[in-house]
Structure 1
Amino acid sequence: MLRAILNLLGALFGRKKQADDAADIAPPVNVLAGTAQTATTHDISHGFVLPDRNFNQWLEAIQPYLQHFGRVAVIRDVRGNDLNRFRNVTAVQAPSMWVNDDALTHIRRVYPMVVKVDLIRVDTPQKLADVLAQRIAQDDRFGVLTGEGKHIFERFILHWPSDYRPARIVSGFSRDPNARSIGISIASERGAKVLAAATGAVVKVVLDGDALGIGPYVRTSTVFDGVQYVITYGGLRNIRVSPGEAVKYGDMLAEANGDTWKLIVQKIGIGNAGQRVHDVIDPVPLIYWYGLMVRPVDDGLRIRSVDSTDGKIIAKVGRFDLLEPLETHGRTLLRVGKQDQWLRVRVESNKTGYAAAWFLEAADKIPTSVFDGVNPLGVNLDMFHQLGAPDPARLGNLGWVRLPYNVSANVGS
């Protein structure tokens, strides 16, 4: 058995050329596919939805696209698939596929976490192949330069603006004009990094606090799709930026001055009136954190059929289990760690249910690094699985493999 395992590992990691030569093999459906480019985080989160009717013909039409670009999840029909898992969705808008034949409205209503929708309005596989051929020729994944007309629809998002963990929103947004608190409060600790939530420019820096009552703060401005968003980060120390300075999301602006700090968002000309800050909006629906998961703070957490302790127990999970939140990222971060709050989740067995949010904390799905110099992408491998062993050529670019090994070969204890 050990010899067989070593032979398989040699096939996986010692045959890089075979893996490269196999790039023209058609990728399986509903798995990450594509080999040509090094994938970024956003590339990996790209779903491509094809019609169910005559699916194999549609799949054949996109093979060159899959081989040219980075990893793409091919989705056979939207029904029964959760597009909220993907930041970017390319959707074929063919007849009788979407509600009212309107893919954009369908996706925005049913899958609110999708950021970018790339519509391809075609009614035959050949027309789809023609559109994608132009994208391939210009190395243009979403057809920005190919003259397809208005077909890309992207929503404004706020990236999570703190490196403090466990991340959570301590207090949410209040629409009460008499409320003492404005914006939302982000959990932190003194000295934790406060990061830009959106790309833009610094328009104001206040070092000693003012009538706003949130202590030292930084204010940035972003114009997205013709709309101006003004973002204020309050309760800071050691501010690192100056007025007029350009920032991109993830840049460090300052440090938190305590165990919470304020995030205030204004949508100029469109936000709520009558508040202490004009045009203020609730930032919670805008928060997006690719790869956000939750995990129990202790073992034995029960997943229930309804959001109550009266619900039927459908699974039990431990502190090393990652659960996929089935609510928006902002609502998830608002609920974790709070007494009497429940969160709808999906467990590894693909069962869905409700977990007591006061026993959960936010977690990253994909670590940015495992060990220095080690590719974090890997696989759990059972070479004796009833479905058979995988083709080594498809696994040649992985950084690690975890597999079971029966030391005793079922002899003795």
Structure 2
Amino acid sequence: MADDANDIPYSHSTRSWRRSRWWHWHPQKWWIFAVGILGALTFTFLALGGPERAVPTLQATPKQIHDVTLESCSSIAKPAFAPRRVYLHAGGLRGEGIGSVLHHFKQSIVFSRLLDAEFVLASNVDSDNRYFTSKIYNGPILDPQKYAFDARNSCRIRDFIPDSERDRFTRGVCDHQPWALDRARKLQHSMSRCTSVVDFNEAEITQDLNGCIMDWVKDRFHPASKFPYDPLPPFHPPKRPIRVGIHIRWGDTAKQEDLTPSALLEHKFYGSFSLRKMLSTLRDIRKLAGKSGIKLTVAMENADKRVLDLLEEKDYVLLDSRAEDDLDDMRKLSENDILLLGESSWGVLVHLIAPPGLTLVDGGAAQKFSNTTGLGRDVIYMKDYTPEKLRAALFPVQKD
């Protein structure tokens, strides 16, 4: 009876004997165990969140022509799966123009690039200026499936970067400081599982750092692939007219109705090129242009005829389409060989999206043009301006 395997009493030893005997009798069934183990491992892996989002690497790069553009961020590895995660700026925006409103989310743009996320502004109606700020800045985002908001593991940026540390960290990243780049790597790793990022910050006011986001702004507003431009050949004399664009901020003359033309020449403008310097510089440009002449474009909302009559140019293009076509005016003004700009935030945006060429800046105290010499465009401040520098910048190859 004891020899009958079916009658062996149950015990740890007999249970082990039965396992070994079963294995000996059924070797062809080894795959059952393999499948079971593989299934258990797969279930555990998926339960823990599946494959981690690839952690992009951030390499410090030498400062080149475009001094502080996030070159290191532009090469961040793309996530291994779609859709691309969204970085949603959900903080309220003030009723400001398309240029000055950018001061309130530059840090968010930098963070979104560090995290290889698509920056999106929450819907915002700017009633004072009669347009959707969010619609303009989100313009290229057309496919809702491609940039859908994935809330499965949504993270708040302030849980990883406290509001009190945002400004210092952003500046450190833009300046490629080692401590900031090291922290950026840690941020990328710690937020690698976030399916989306939400930013509720409303306190930011950053007038400078435009060089750090210059290529981002250009990609959003005026990508070269969609707006091809024929640059001025570098040889003198030019074979075509030199294209010149001027921005005169409407507020600079809107309340100066009592000023005579001669008094306007001495009027101190805010955010625009002063008229006396403007006229002198235009004469220098005409002299360089020679027989080819210049082609002038003037952007001035609520255009003041007294000012336009002072420009000594009979044929010019006036951009005064008001807020409805603000972005279109900005693009048209940017497409000039030379830009004459003050420190109006609208004018700064024109410079940021402009094709290769030269920008002459009257002012500079707010540092809005700092580190924006790049992407083929040079900057000369009027405090450093000379006709010789103008010629050298426009025509670096001399063939006189």
Q: Verify same fold: TM over 0.5.
A: no
More helix by share: 2
TM-score range, shorter chain: under 0.3
- TM-score calculated relative to the size of structure 1: 0.25
- TM-score calculated relative to the size of structure 2: 0.25
More strand by share: 1
